């Protein structure tokens, strides 16, 4: 299908950015009869979920844990297809292994498994955990099942759900919510680290995000054979089977808006013009408004709004392939440092790297269950270390090597003997790299922080309040980051257009 530029064809649509939110919207709109043109800045689709290969080690750049598989099936349904014909989803149990600083660990898993472990560590917390899991059922019902793919069009819509959310304890932080039920400090860490997976501080973000634990309880945690990039590839294939068109290495420079504040099309940084009266931007929301649209058209979405907003943390990533196996480690390992609140305070509030040199991390080793991702006898791994976003002022060109050596040294000493000499492939991504590769404002890879005042109606709207014909999708819009979040946001945005 060629995307012609004739005027008057209102069944055409441009999507800026091929992250998972952009891809899911592209599939939905193409299936609904639109001619969709997907423009992606980089040389591949997937955004945060892109992939790369070094010395036959295959690395997923970002998301690894798949939850809510039926949201994926819903997209295949649009073409009367079964996702199992294209993807092999493997259930993961335990969901995560959480190592404490003393290297003892908790296998975070089903409620029954968790209860058995809690009984050994802190018997007094058994009843509290049961009560907590019961108490989050209505949060899951309201926050996920009812509201995750519904728009908040007016302040009135927020007023309507405000009282029930407050009744559910939405004014509390995740940490405060868990602490009400669980007394043991180690267990409090186990049941509060989830917000970090979407860039939020457990001591700040609203307890509505306890729904993540309910989501895992309901549908489990999955791995896609071949890595998350298989999911991205199949989303791309589904979109092109439906007749959609993707142009890579195509960065949108400006969204062209008429004097009546209506979108007309986009220009790319290499000087091309594509006309369309409907545009969905999957590029980071702050970048979309501040870099692509002249400020005179933006009353609600002013530069002030986005420079003053609170952004989530960033990440320092080391992707590394080894020529030996580490069978004692698991696919999903959370490595907790000696401090919890203090470390998070450094990252989120003081916006600095820990002066004490401690850190917490997520160590991902997909080759523990899918050896096809590395040469024989090797592993492909990444370690994700939460760090402040670019408000920190850290010059990563200077800091990168020292920080990398510190992390690899720590892994070698504590978890992966002889690591340095076994590394045969390596790549580092700093907050600066994410900022330049995917245009993440402030290098905040999870976009705006999921605080109460930046959620639901208060999050940037999926349908622009300022510009007719402009829609947004992805982590910076409702319901927020994570694969289920951005796929739900695509449903919401598409329904608004349709």
Ligand X SMILES: Cc1cc2nc3c(=O)[nH]c(=O)nc-3n(C[C@H](O)[C@H](O)[C@H](O)COP(=O)(O)OP(=O)(O)OC[C@H]3O[C@@H](n4cnc5c(N)ncnc54)[C@H](O)[C@@H]3O)c2cc1C
- Decide whether 252 or 374 has the Cβ nearer to ligand X: 252
* Residue 392 CA: distances (Å) to CA of 279, 294, 432, 442, 450: 33, 28, 11, 9, 19
Q: Sign of dihedral through CA atoms 387, 391, 392, 396?
A: positive
Closest distance to ligand X from the beta carbon of 162 (Å): 26
Closest distance to ligand X from the beta carbon of 476 (Å): 7
Closest distance to ligand X from the beta carbon of 46 (Å): 7
Length of the chain: 498
Identify the bridge partners of residue 314 per DSSP, sorted by sequence position: 387
CA distance 25 to 171: 32
CA distance 263 to 257: 4
Which of 146, 142, 127, 143 lies closest to 184, judged by CA?
127
- Decide whether 128 or 333 has the Cβ nearer to ligand X: 333
* Contact between 61 and 264 (Cβ < 8 Å): no
CA angle 318/320/325 to nearest 5° reads 135
| Site residues, ligand X (CB under 6 A) | 16-22, 39-42, 47-49, 62-65, 197, 251-252, 282-283, 287, 315, 317, 384, 438-439, 445, 474-475, 481-483, 486
* Contact between 286 and 476 (Cβ < 8 Å): yes
- Decide whether 236 or 321 has the Cβ nearer to ligand X: 236
Closest distance to ligand X from the beta carbon of 463 (Å): 17
- Decide whether 42 or 110 has the Cβ nearer to ligand X: 42
Tally of CA atoms within 13 A in the half-sphere of 7 that contains its CB: 1
Closest distance to ligand X from the beta carbon of 474 (Å): 3
CB atoms inside a 10 Å sphere around CB 71: 21
Closest distance to ligand X from the beta carbon of 160 (Å): 27
- Decide whether 49 or 182 has the Cβ nearer to ligand X: 49
Bin 447: left if φ > 0, else alpha if -120 < ψ < 50, else beta: left
CA distance 52 to 321: 12
CA angle 75/78/79 to nearest 5° reads 110
CA distance 477 to 431: 21
- Decide whether 189 or 197 has the Cβ nearer to ligand X: 197
- Decide whether 373 or 486 has the Cβ nearer to ligand X: 486
- Decide whether 483 or 492 has the Cβ nearer to ligand X: 483
């Amino acid at each position: 299908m060629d995307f012609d530029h004739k005027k008057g064809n209102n069944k055409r649509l441009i999507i800026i950015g091929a992250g998972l939110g952009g891809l899911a919207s592209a599939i939905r709109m193409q299936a609904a009869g639109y001619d969709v043109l997907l423009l992606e800045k980089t040389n591949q689709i997937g955004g945060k979920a892109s992939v790369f290969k070094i010395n036959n080690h295959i690395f997923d750049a970002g998301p690894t844990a798949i939850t809510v598989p039926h949201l994926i099936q819903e997209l295949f349904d649009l073409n009367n297809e079964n996702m199992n014909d294209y993807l092999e989803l493997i259930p993961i149990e335990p969901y995560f292994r959480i190592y404490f600083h003393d290297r003892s660990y908790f296998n975070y898993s089903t409620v029954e498994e968790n209860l058995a472990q809690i009984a050994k560590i802190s018997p007094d917390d058994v009843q509290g955990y049961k009560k907590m899991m019961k108490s989050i059922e209505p949060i899951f019902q309201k926050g996920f099942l009812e509201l995750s793919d519904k728009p908040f069009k007016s302040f009135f819509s927020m007023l309507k759900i405000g009282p029930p959310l407050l009744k559910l304890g939405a004014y509390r932080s995740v940490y405060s919510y868990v602490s009400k039920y669980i007394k043991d400090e180690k267990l409090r860490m186990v049941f509060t680290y989830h917000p970090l997976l979407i860039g939020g501080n457990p001591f700040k973000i609203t307890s509505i995000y306890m729904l993540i634990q309910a989501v895992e309880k309901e549908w489990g945690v999955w791995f896609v054979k071949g890595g998350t990039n298989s999911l991205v590839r199949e989303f791309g294939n589904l979109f092109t089977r439906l007749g959609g068109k993707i142009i890579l290495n195509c960065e949108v420079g400006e969204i062209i808006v008429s004097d009546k504040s209506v979108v007309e099309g986009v220009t790319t940084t290499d000087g091309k013009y594509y006309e369309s009266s409907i545009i969905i931007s999957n590029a980071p929301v702050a970048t979309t408004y501040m870099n692509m649209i002249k400020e005179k058209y933006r009353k609600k979405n002013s530069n002030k709004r986005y420079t003053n907003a609170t952004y989530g943390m960033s990440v320092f990533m080391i992707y590394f392939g080894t020529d030996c196996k580490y069978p004692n480690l698991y696919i999903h390992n959370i490595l907790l440092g000696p401090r919890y609140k203090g470390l998070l305070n450094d990252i989120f509030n003081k916006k600095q790297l820990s002066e004490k040199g401690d850190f917490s991390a997520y160590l991902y080793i997909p080759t523990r269950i899918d050896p096809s991702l590395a040469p024989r006898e090797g592993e492909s791994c990444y370690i994700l270390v939460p760090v402040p976003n670019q408000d920190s002022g850290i010059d990563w060109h200077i800091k990168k090597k020292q920080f990398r050596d510190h992390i690899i040294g720590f892994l070698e000493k504590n978890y992966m003997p002889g690591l340095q000499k076994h590394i045969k492939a390596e790549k580092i991504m700093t907050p600066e790299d994410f900022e330049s590769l995917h245009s993440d404002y402030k290098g905040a890879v999870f976009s705006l922080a999921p605080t109460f005042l930046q959620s639901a109606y208060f999050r940037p709207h999926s349908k622009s309040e300022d510009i007719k014909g402009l829609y947004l999708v992805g982590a910076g819009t409702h319901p927020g980051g994570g694969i289920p979040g951005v796929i739900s946001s695509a449903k919401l945005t598409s329904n608004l257009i349709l």
